[in-house]
Amino acid sequence: MKFNSEYIDSIIVDFLTHQADEKVVNDLNEWLAESDANKKYFNDYKEIWYSSIVGMDERKYDSARAFTKFQERTSVGLLKKKRHLLLIFGKYVAVLFVLLMVSYFSYWQGENNIQNSFSDIIVEAPLGSNLKLSLPDGSNVWLNSGSKMSYSQGFGVSDRELKLVGEGYFEVVRNEFLPFIVNSSHLQVTVLGTKFIFRDYCEDDEAIVSLKEGKVAWQNLIQHDQKGFLSPNEKVVLDKRYGKIHIESSVVDNALQWTKGALFFDEVPFVTIVKALERSYNVHITIMNDSLRNHCFYGHFVRNEQSVRDILDALSATTPMHYDIKGSNITIY
């Protein structure tokens, strides 16, 4: 779609002042994808916008002074085509003033802090349920039970970076200009466009990234010098206790069973199965028999068709154990 210059300047200002609605964000994304020149124009615009107000204490903010500084900077050649920037800037002075009053650190420290001053978008999958959603850039995400994901309001335009606690499956739309980055407290993954699982629950000893399609770059955030790449059907496993990392093969389709409402255990230690049951059924399980903790099981269960009692009955059929259920509390002997 062909956008005229006045509209482009207008939607850029909408974005910089966080007044952009979904249509504006989509149009801006489309325009940025058209050429490197468009992306450079956007970055130059941002630089001028923020630098025109850096160093102004909001208690002494002078809109005329900011406007003058913006004029001075646009006249030195960073943007050779003015495209009615001054008129648009004047139109949004009132909005900018409100933002300055609300957000103390934003314009004092420039672009990074102004973006941080706006609340991130937070999405959670509560215990006992999964969640599927589409991100602003068109990528799809499935969140497993007890997981939380957050990203900035500029996701898909200024960045494609998000934070994850728990487990998510990502089908990422390719974008050469904006890498897709997922951070947990222990691992970082960077991709352009691919399909992968990222798992890092706070209570787990391991953080795991499994690749289904494409290629991903990973970095150990405990020992920052450890980084590498994954190929399809490989996974990187980080021992969070010691910061040690290794690569191994992975049957990703099995690891994806939870996205279909199933629980799949392939020689999995019982203590790991217990964590999955707690998240999937929103229960609390206490293991009184320590000999069971590292005992491995195999099984495939459908969560919507089988209760936690059904699963415990199936597991106890192969290994001597007993359990007691009182409400949402389960004790295993």
**What pLDDT, in 10s, does the model give residues 224-248?**
888 999 999 999 999 999 999 999 9
Give the rounded percent of residues in the chain with a pLDDT score beyond 70.
Answer: 76
- Alpha carbon distance 152, 162 (integer Å): 7
Could you tell me the CA-to-CA distances from 170 to 30, 43, 113, 194, 321 in Å, in that order? 22, 28, 28, 8, 37
Residue type, 265: F
* Residue 250: how many other CB atoms lie within 10 Å: 21
pLDDT confidence band for 249 (50 / 70 / 90) = very high
pLDDT confidence band for 319 (50 / 70 / 90) = confident
The conformation of residue 292, written as its DSSP 8-state character, comes to G
pLDDT score of 278: 96
Closest CA to 256 of 136, 117, 142, 148: 142
Closest CA to 295 of 309, 311, 279, 274: 274
User: Angle at the Cα of 135 (from 129 to 139), degrees rounded to 5?
Assistant: 100
Q: Across residues 199-215, what is the average pLDDT? A: 95
User: Which stretch of 36-50, 146-160, 193-207, 270-284 has the lowest confidence by average pLDDT?
Assistant: 36-50
Evaluated on CA atoms 199, 201, 206, 207, the torsion sign reads: positive
Q: Across residues 81-99, what is the average pLDDT? A: 48
Q: Across residues 153-171, what is the average pLDDT? A: 93
- Alpha carbon distance 313, 329 (integer Å): 16
Q: Across residues 182-196, what is the average pLDDT? A: 94
* Top-confidence residue, 155 or 54: 155
State CA 271 to chain mean position distance. 28
pLDDT score of 44: 67
Q: Across residues 110-124, what is the average pLDDT? A: 64
Summarised one tens digit per residue, pLDDT across range 282-318 is 999 999 998 999 899 999 999 989 999 999 999 999 8
**Beta-bridge partner residues of 147:** 125
User: Which stretch of 14-18, 25-29, 201-205 has the lowest confidence by average pLDDT?
Assistant: 14-18
pLDDT confidence band for 103 (50 / 70 / 90) = very low
Q: Across residues 173-182, what is the average pLDDT? A: 90
End-to-end CA distance of the chain: 65
Q: Across residues 174-203, what is the average pLDDT? A: 93
User: Which stretch of 38-42, 43-47, 184-188 has the lowest confidence by average pLDDT?
Assistant: 43-47
- Flag whether pLDDT at 104 surpasses 70: no
The mean pLDDT of the chain is 81
Q: Answer yes or no: CATH 2.60.120.1440 is held by domain 121-250.
A: yes
Closest CA to 135 of 117, 154, 118: 154
pLDDT confidence band for 209 (50 / 70 / 90) = very high
Structure token pair of residue 88: 């648009």
Phi, psi of 243 (to 5 degrees): 75, 10
pLDDT score of 48: 57
- Alpha carbon distance 22, 24 (integer Å): 5
pLDDT confidence band for 29 (50 / 70 / 90) = confident
Structure token pair of residue 16: 């910089």
Inter-residue contact 167 to 148 (CB < 8 Å): no
User: Angle at the Cα of 48 (from 46 to 52), degrees rounded to 5?
Assistant: 120
What's the burial of 114, exposed, middle or buried (CB within 10 Å: 0-12/13-18/19+)? Answer: buried
* Residue 175: how many other CB atoms lie within 10 Å: 19
Phi, psi of 296 (to 5 degrees): -95, 145
- Alpha carbon distance 236, 217 (integer Å): 10
- Flag whether pLDDT at 89 surpasses 70: no
Q: Residue 319 in 3-state DSSP?
A: coil
pLDDT confidence band for 31 (50 / 70 / 90) = confident
Instruction: For domain 261-332, give the fold.
Output: Phage tail protein beta-alpha-beta fold (3.55.50)
Write out the H or E segment, with its range, that includes residue 63.
Answer: helix 63-74
pLDDT score of 11: 85
- Flag whether pLDDT at 258 surpasses 70: yes
- Flag whether pLDDT at 77 surpasses 70: no
- Flag whether pLDDT at 130 surpasses 90: yes
- Flag whether pLDDT at 274 surpasses 50: yes
pLDDT confidence band for 5 (50 / 70 / 90) = confident
